Amino acid sequence: MSAIARFVMQGPRQAALLAVLFAAIPLMYWLSAAIVALVILRQGLNKGINVLLPALLPGVVWYGLQQEITAFMVVLGCAAMASVLRSAVSLPKAMAASLLLGWLVVALLPSLSPLWFDILQQGAQQYSQLLTAEDPHAATMLEPWILPLLLGGIAALLQLFAIGALLLARSWQAKMFNPGAFGKEFQALRLPHWYALLAVLVLFVGVSSSQLASWIPVVLAPMFVMGVSLIHGIVAKKQLSSQWIMTFYISLVFFLPYMYALLILVALVDIFIDIRGRLNETAN
């Protein structure tokens, strides 16, 4: 991975070449997004445009062939977050900007990708049938929320790809120009209070109205990443063994739905009580 970053920093042609190459390979567009983000973080948006525009071309081709918007949206969304990070010098603000990507996917996917939206509808119908066979009353109650939540889940997944690409670009930048800075920055990642209030509001509205339920996964995705950073921060502050991190990720793989919800809940609590700050006070 470090070799990719060094090659990218050799010049715009090298960066554009790799960005286009990875964007053209299925499921590798997140690396293209990371390359674009690295150039923007290091050299600014004006020079980053020279890499961003070529990187978007494979996404346009994928859309023309298969109505696939994921590569285009992830690369563009990550570039936007990198611009926010460079200007605001705030990782939390950059992650909050991922909401725009998620909401755009929710708004545009049904009309721009009717083929994939049909697949989501079929999945929602199959899940509704399974639920009806087990509990008809619950199926009647939950059916209006199934498709919106699936749509929001796809949007949240693309958010996580874009956020992951941004974090990778930031780690490349730190490794080359400021070693050790990214680890401390990620371990201290904490979304602002207004974001927690927004999340609670979206949860309340989404539960009350199925038409807005697709916003719920979108607003929760950055909080999941914050929950992961909180675990890293606690392990670092308590100077625990790296085996704790390994155990955490193993648990994440095997118990993903439960861990996802737990990390979001812990992140919400941390926004208000600052767990890492309290650990510092205890240490002192």
pTM across the whole model: 0.94
Residue 284 has pLDDT above 60, yes or no: no
Structure tokens at 216: 């719920």
**Burial class (CB within 10 angstroms; exposed 0-12, middle 13-18, buried 19+) of 36:** buried
Distance CA 12, CA 167 (A): 21
Residue 283 in this model has a pLDDT that exceeds 60: no
Q: What is the dihedral of CA 163, 169, 175, 178, to 10 degrees?
A: -90
Per residue in 98-152, pLDDT tens?
Answer: 999 999 999 999 998 988 899 899 988 888 888 777 777 766 777 888 899 999 9
- Residue 269: strand, helix, or coil: helix
**Identity of residue 77:** G
* 241-274 pLDDT, tens digit each: 889 999 999 999 999 999 999 999 999 999 999 8
What letter would DSSP give residue 26?
A: T
Q: Work out the average pLDDT over 235-244.
A: 88
Residue 250 CA to residue 155 CA, distance in Å, equals 25
Residue 199: both structure tokens together? 């999340």
